[in-house]
Homo-oligomer: A and B are copies of this chain.
Amino acid sequence: MGRLSAALLGATGIAGQQFLPFLAGHPYFELKVLSASARSAGKLYIDAVKWYQEYYIPNEFVNMPVISMEEALEKADFDILFCALPSEIAAEWEPKFAEKGVTVFSDAGCFRKEKDVPVMIPEVNYDHINLLTAQRKNRNWKGGIVKNPNCTTVAAAMALAPLKKYGIKRVFLSSMQAVSGAGYDGVPSMAITDNVIPYISGEEEKVEFENLKILGDLDEAEGEVKLLPAVFSASCHRVHTLYGHIEALFIEFEKEVDIDDVKNSIRNFTSKPQQLGLPTAPKVPVILTDDPFRPQVRLDRNAGEPERCKGMSATVGRVRYDHDEKNRIKLITLAHNSIRGAAGNLVLTAELAKAEGLI
């Protein structure tokens, strides 16, 4: 029983690079097509890429040829596609691949608001993957499009997933985001050294909408997700860290909650990917810490076991009542923006789709 064949679009960019360790020697998927812009096409990967990672290019990809997107589309001789393109370009290319029968797992922001497009964090909303069926029917596609959420959405949604059962009424979120979220050249050192930038264009709207969608309930009959009936309000800020988005959450519930029960719900949270034993599913998807000084970005962003799941666990700490109002809690949540918030999460999503027989 062979592996599915896979392609990677935007393979040379900073986002694309980070897929490689997750796909090297993957048990389900064989990454056999690396695609990038015309400038890189025709070169070997090692010659085309400006490699910015603290680890080496996995051996199997070093001398793989890079092809253009046009060529990749023409052939389309692969089952799935990971897309690490900028949103505007992705919006043009993804449907073309979906039409040709390829299921696209995409990190790009486009289409997340489409009703029949799932935005996935496998532990949080595994059943949303079934939207693919509706999507294929609606659009008459054999392939399809599955989305990663925005990286800032992820840390919040993973902390909130175990708490959804208490009835979330309102959430205030204040983020402290790493520079890598803006891409390699996105934040000049002159801009962020000894500084905080209090605005990230478009981010707050994404975080607010995507959390409600991901935490919402799938309505299979309608082929859509019913948004969580809560109010989500975000304020997003850039701080001087390299990787890892950390967020302060102020949560109001429909009714009173017991703080120890809340902590236990987080501590014991586990989900479908763990039950299925998916290769990129960390043993503990949300780690609860009792140390008030944790999570810390540098110390906890790479949480996740076993080794290949480093960076796949979110870490939640400082879970406490807000004064003596028992229907309100405050907490801190952290997730690795370019692993759980990007490459790692998307590979896990593809694993789920495979396990569910959707690809």
Question: Which of the segments A80-88, A113-121, A181-189 contacts the partner chain?
Answer: A181-189
B194 touches A298 (CB 8 A): yes
How many residues of A are counted as interface, with CB atoms below 8 angstroms from the partner's CB atoms?
Answer: 55
Binary B-proximity of A189-205 (CB < 8 A = 1, otherwise 0) = 11111111111010000
CB distance from A156 to the nearest CB of B (A): 13
| Cβ-defined contact, B248 with A237, below 8 A | yes
Chain B residues, Cβ within 8 Å of A225: none
Instruction: Specify the main secondary structure of chain A where it touches its partner.
Output: mixed
Known A190-B184, A233-B322; contact A197-B296, beta-carbon cutoff 8 A: yes
Question: Known: A190-B52, A195-B297, A240-B189. Contact between A248 and B231, CB under 8 A?
Answer: no
Is the beta-carbon distance between B332 and A293 smaller than 8 angstroms? no
Q: Select A198's contact among B189, B201, B332, beta carbons within 8 Å.
A: B332
Shortest CB-to-CB span from A73 to chain B, Å, is 31
Query: Which residues of chain B are within 8 angstroms of A133 by Cβ–Cβ distance?
Result: none
CB contacts (< 8 Å) of A75 on chain B: these are none
Report if A345 contacts B (CB, 8 A).
no
CB-CB under 8 A from A165, the residues of chain B are: none
Contacts of A180 in B (CB 8 A): 190
- What CA separation (Å) do A191 and B186 show in the bound complex? 11
What is the interface of chain A, defined by CB distance below 8 A to chain B? Answer: 14, 52-54, 172, 174, 176, 179-180, 184-199, 201, 208, 231, 233, 235, 237, 239-242, 246, 248, 250, 292-299, 302, 317-318, 322-323, 325, 328, 330, 332
